[in-house]
């Protein structure tokens, strides 16, 4: 028999987490002392091991409860699915580790990383996939030439700074959207203005009119729409309205 504190220490969990597992029927200790303290058996620890395995594989607690409480659940199929996802995560982490080594070597030698290496901090985004398309669609534009001229000297830290700013803007968009802020409210327009300034300061001169034109692509191109709508359904349309409202505000000021 093991007391809750002992189990918590062995599993690297808090006692609060174990009490929560008990409350939701995920892990109820088999025994209790006369004073009511929880006592866990070896079988309870085996069940906890299974719970922690699923949790580390990214399975939500409510689904774990279904899996381990339902004798009809196909645990093998579930684990095979998670094994596939885990293999993909291992491959991605390995690639990220290699990128970190390259970045450190670059810092030590003072040599700049090539564009693909610098942009790899954007996660799953593959710049090579869109490079030919961007050149074909906008290669003759002043904006494309200005962007190419500016970005060719950017360091990895420059790209990380831009990436972090874009992530912060996305988080602000989601937060405002979740609070029910109207797309033409000052807060929404301020976020749209921040998004415009990221482009204007880092890539090419982006007027309010040009930003409005870009906004149309956010809903017309499924890739851009998915970027926002994956976060919240309808967020792409909301952002477009905020950008239009921001442009109207600029025109009247």
pLDDT of 129 over the 50 cut: no
Least confident of 68-72, 125-129, 178-182, 243-247: 125-129
- How far is it, in rounded angstroms, from Cα 113 to Cα 107? 9
CATH number of 2-69: 1.10.1660.10
Mean pLDDT to the nearest integer, 155-179: 87
Q: What is the mean pLDDT of the chain?
A: 79
pLDDT band at 83 (very low <50, low <70, confident <90, very high): confident
Going by C-alpha positions, the residue among 158, 246, 165, 153 that lies closest to residue 206 is 246
Question: Residues 6 or more apart from 117 whose CB is under 8 A from it?
Answer: 99, 102, 103, 106, 156
In the predicted structure, residue 130 carries a pLDDT above the cut 80: no
53-57, 90-94, 218-222: the lowest-pLDDT one: 90-94
pLDDT attached to residue 88: 72
% the chain with pLDDT above 90: 22
Spell out the domain ranges in the chain.
2-69, 83-111, 115-252
pLDDT score of 166 more than 80: yes
What are the residues whose beta carbons fall under 8 Å from the beta carbon of 102, sequence distance 6 or more? 113, 117
Q: Is the pLDDT of residue 133 over 70?
A: no
Nearest in space to 29 (alpha carbons), one of 55, 11, 48: 48
**pLDDT attached to residue 131:** 45
pLDDT for the residue 140 = 58
Tokens of 46: 């085996």
Residue 188 has a pLDDT of 95
Can you give the pLDDT at residue 121?
46
User: Which architecture characterizes domain 115-252 according to CATH?
Assistant: Orthogonal Bundle (1.10)
The pLDDT assigned to 202 comes to 86
Query: Which band of pLDDT confidence, cut at 50, 70 and 90, is reported for residue 12?
Result: confident
Q: How far apart are CA 201 and CA 150, in angstroms?
A: 10
| Angle between helices 222-229 and 208-220 in degrees, nearest 10 | 90
pLDDT (0 to 100) of residue 85: 72
| pLDDT above 80 (res 115) | no
**pLDDT score of 173:** 92
In this predicted model, what pLDDT tens digit does every residue of 202-231 receive, in sequence order?
Answer: 888 888 988 888 888 778 778 778 888 888
Which whole-number Å values give the CA distances from 189 to 5, 65, 133, 194, 248, in the listed order?
51, 44, 30, 9, 10
């Amino acid at each position: 028999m093991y007391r809750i504190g002992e189990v918590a220490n062995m599993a690297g969990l808090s006692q609060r987490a174990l009490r929560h597992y008990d409350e939701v029927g995920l892990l109820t200790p088999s025994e209790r002392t006369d004073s009511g303290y929880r006592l866990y058996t070896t079988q309870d620890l085996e069940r906890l091991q299974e719970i922690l395995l699923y949790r580390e594989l990214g399975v939500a607690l409510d689904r774990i409860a279904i899996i381990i409480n339902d004798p009809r659940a196909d645990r093998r199929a579930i684990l095979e699915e998670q094994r596939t996802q885990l293999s993909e995560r291992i491959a991605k982490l390995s690639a990220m580790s290699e990128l970190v080594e390259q970045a450190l070597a670059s810092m030590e030698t003072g040599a700049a990383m090539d564009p693909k290496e610098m942009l790899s901090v954007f996660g799953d985004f593959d710049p090579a996939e869109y490079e030919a398309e961007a050149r074909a669609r906008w290669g003759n534009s002043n904006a494309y030439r200005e962007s190419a001229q500016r970005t060719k000297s950017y360091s990895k830290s420059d790209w990380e700074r831009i990436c972090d700013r874009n992530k912060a803007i996305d988080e602000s968009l989601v937060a405002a959207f979740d609070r029910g802020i109207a797309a033409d409210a000052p807060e929404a327009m301020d976020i749209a203005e921040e998004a415009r300034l990221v482009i204007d300061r880092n890539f090419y001169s982006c007027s309010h009119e040009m930003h409005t034109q870009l906004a149309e692509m956010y809903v017309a191109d499924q890739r851009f729409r998915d970027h926002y709508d994956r976060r919240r359904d309808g967020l792409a349309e909301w952002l477009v309205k905020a950008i239009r409202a921001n442009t109207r505000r600029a025109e009247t000021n």
